[in-house]
Structure 1
Amino acid sequence: MKVVIAPDSFKGSLSSRQVCVAIGKGIKRADPSVEIVAIPMADGGEGTVDALMDSLGGHKVIAEVKDPLFRDIKAQYGLADKDETAVIEMAAASGLALLSDMERNPMKTTTYGTGQLIKDALDRGCRNFIIGIGGSATNDGGIGMAAALGAKFYDWDGNAIELNGGGLLKLDAIDLSQLDPRVAESRFRVFCDVDNILYGSTGAAYVYGRQKGADDAMIEKLDMALKRLSEIIERDLNKSVALVPGAGAAGGLGAGLLAFLDAKLEKGIDILMETIGFEERIKGANLIITGEGRMDHQTKYGKTISGIIEAAKKQGIPVVGICGSIGDGVEELYSEGLNSVFSIINRPMSLEESMVETSELLTSTAQNVMSLFMANVSQP
């Protein structure tokens, strides 16, 4: 019996790697003879580096960078053993989790630290980059990131603008003449699992600004700033990025990566599965157990679990989901190929209690799932 464990993280509680360990314990309690293949998954946010490093091999390094409010911090990223590849989570330097609720303000936050991580990897000889852009605290269109690599951004009087969402309102000129020449020698692949355009009602500011601390008035200004950025990019760089799906990801960092680094925006699950050889690793499996903190109607739209279900369906492997909570519309996944879904909550409890007990709750649920599956398999 071969069982693949391929979950996303339970955000705020356990990494995808820790989820694998907890589910694996439950499977072994049900049947110690089961062969387990653990494949931690990620969608570009927290856990992306770990998920790729598990398969690529390599190690993490630490760089001193600026956080979203230009304070000095230390951030990690991954260096793979092959192909001079760096795996970077922008959230490590420019993420919302680095700020308190009171500090959230996308008019003031920057992606400068993300650019510093890229520069550090260039200094170490990397020329292939995989960048996850989930969990951002920013709305600067990537100008901070580009400035850390040598790009210049000026206002109408020829003065350097602030490298944040507010600074974009004054943008009048872009100069890439001093951009690090090693950028042109490099390849940038970007985990991008949203299709938001840069500005407008489905753009970065209107869709994601509020969770980053913006009120209605601020959202309107941020949207105007991103529109301004797209106009200057088109005029000065002769590139049209505003309507590219994913340009609005991470507060417009998607657009900035396109415009300043000639990056390619790709579905994160596609990058991950290709890189780790997912379809090959699940061959011969009798069952795949996946999961995330919450499964609902959004799970099917380009997320990790939908990619897993699709890959499993090709090989006729049943898929069971284990999650913290089950929301409306999860039944839509059954028509996609999901066989069943189970919540780990086994009694009335608060969110705080469930997060503290997530590991053991995962283990007990996995034990129940595996026992049921084995009973079904043993039937004539």
Structure 2
Amino acid sequence: MKIIIAPDSFKESMTASEAAQAIYAGFKPIFPTATYELIPLADGGEGFVDTILNTVPGKIYTYQVMGPRKQSVTAKLAVIEAGKIALLETAAASGLQLCNGIKDPLTATSYGTGELLKHALDLGVEHIILGLGGSATNDGGAGLLQALGAKFYDRSHYELPLGGIHLQALEKIDISALDPRLQTTKITLASDVASPFIGPNGASVVFGPQKGASPNAVLQLEQALTNFSQVIKATCGQDIATTPGAGAAGGIGGALLAFTNATLTSGVELAIALTDLEQKATAADILLTGEGSLDSQTKLGKTPLGVLRAVRSVSPDCTVIGLAGKVEAVAELYQLGFDAVFSCTPGVINLERALRSGSKHLTQTANEIAHLLQKFV
């Protein structure tokens, strides 16, 4: 029997690799002679670089950059394909996990991601792949552009401080010193988010609350990014307000789509291609996938759905099982093609305990599933 284990991370609880190992630990005692392929994945968020490096050889570089709260953080990037391609992720420099529990999307900055991007350019790569996801920021990528040479001014020609809230006062963007290599280097943005820059489905309204924004803060950020999008249009002629994917990573997607030659692609599809998932999943009998939550957002291009479709394309009879800390919209999940979905959270426990004990609970749930499957194979 061939078993594929290909989860995403369980945010704030386990990396994708840790989740894969936890599922394996539950299945191995019940099916000791099965062939296992552990292929942890990420759709652009935290762990995206590590996911690719699990199967693709590369070199890691670490740098000190500015974190989302303007503190110094250590962030890494990887270079693959004989130095031609750099892999980065916004979460490494501007991620929620770097906030130490203090979330403030009004002032959080993407400046560090811009610094990381500059370091990649300094390495002389031909292609930069940037994973968009897991950011603590809602500054529309303004901080990123500032790190790369852009200047932001208010109507009194004072330079704006870092942070999305200050974009309400933005009057002019000076891109004369913006790093010219951004126009000659291929840039691919990997994301699972199709949200536009602004609007009811945009960066501020949909993702602001997840980053700590109160209802009033969401309104302020929406006004700030609306003004930012208007100034961007006046500066370079690009209208990113309703562009799908422009709202990714608090609007970083929009900034790069407007001021560079960047293109947007599905993060999970890119990860699947780079890790050769389809080839490894040929003739698979069971697929175990999942992430922190399986719900109505899964159908929008999250990792579990991408994995399901990729594996079914080469193994149409494969049994597909989803695992998550939280499971909602079960009927929708079955319509997507899952054969079964399971929550690994036992009973009524608080979130802190659930996150802390996630690996143990995931292993236990996987073991219970394996016991059940043993009756039918």
Q: State the TM-score bracket (shorter-chain normalisation).
A: over 0.9
Q: CA offsets, 1:61-103, max 9 Å, x none?
A: 21111111322221122222445222212122112222244x4
Q: CA offsets, 1:214-249, max 9 Å, x none?
A: 333332222122111111211111112111012122
CA RMSD of aligned residues (A): 2.0
Please state how far the C-alpha of 1:198 moved relative to its aligned partner: 1.4
1:162–1:168 contact (8 Å) kept in structure 2: no
Please state how far the C-alpha of 1:138 moved relative to its aligned partner: 1.5
Residues of 2 paired with 1:364 and 1:309: CA distance?
Answer: 23
1:313 aligned residue:
312
1:313–1:337 contact (8 Å) kept in structure 2: no
2:205 aligned residue:
206
Residue 56 of structure 1 aligns to a residue whose secondary structure is coil
Please state how far the C-alpha of 1:110 moved relative to its aligned partner: 1.1
2:12–2:97 contact (8 Å) kept in structure 1: no
**What amino acid is aligned across from residue 92 of structure 2 in structure 1?**
A
Residues of 2 paired with 1:124 and 1:238: CA distance?
Answer: 30
2:159 aligned residue:
160
1:56–1:82 contact (8 Å) kept in structure 2: no
Please state how far the C-alpha of 1:195 moved relative to its aligned partner: 2.0
Listed as ranges, the gaps of 5+ residues in structure 2 are: none
Residue 324 of structure 1 aligns to a residue whose secondary structure is strand
Listed as ranges, the gaps of 5+ residues in structure 1 are: none
Residues of 1 paired with 2:212 and 2:5: CA distance?
Answer: 36
Residue 69 of structure 2 aligns to a residue whose secondary structure is coil
User: Using a 3 Å threshold, how does the CA distance of structure 1 residues 200 and 298 change in structure 2: closer, same or farther?
Assistant: closer
Residue 304 of structure 2 aligns to a residue whose secondary structure is helix
1:91 aligned residue:
91
Residues of 2 paired with 1:363 and 1:201: CA distance?
Answer: 39
Percent of residue pairs identical: 40
Residues of 2 paired with 1:215 and 1:262: CA distance?
Answer: 34
**What amino acid is aligned across from residue 319 of structure 1 in structure 2?**
V
1:113 aligned residue:
112
Please state how far the C-alpha of 1:298 moved relative to its aligned partner: 2.4
Q: CA offsets, 1:94-128, max 9 Å, x none?
A: 12222244x43222221110000011111122231
Residues of 1 paired with 2:67 and 2:141: CA distance?
Answer: 14
2:192–2:267 contact (8 Å) kept in structure 1: yes
2:34 aligned residue:
34
Matched residue pairs, number? 375
- For normalisation by structure 2, the TM-score amounts to 0.93
Residues of 2 paired with 1:62 and 1:214: CA distance?
Answer: 31
1:83–1:128 contact (8 Å) kept in structure 2: no
Structure 2 counterparts to residues 29-178 of structure 1, below 5 A: 29-82=29-82, 84-101=84-101, 103-178=102-177
Residue 126 of structure 1 aligns to a residue whose secondary structure is coil
- For normalisation by structure 1, the TM-score amounts to 0.92
* 2:282 is the counterpart of 1:283: yes
Residues of 1 paired with 2:143 and 2:191: CA distance?
Answer: 19
1:2–1:35 contact (8 Å) kept in structure 2: yes
**What amino acid is aligned across from residue 132 of structure 1 in structure 2?**
G
User: Using a 3 Å threshold, how does the CA distance of structure 1 residues 338 and 214 change in structure 2: closer, same or farther?
Assistant: closer
**What amino acid is aligned across from residue 209 of structure 1 in structure 2?**
G
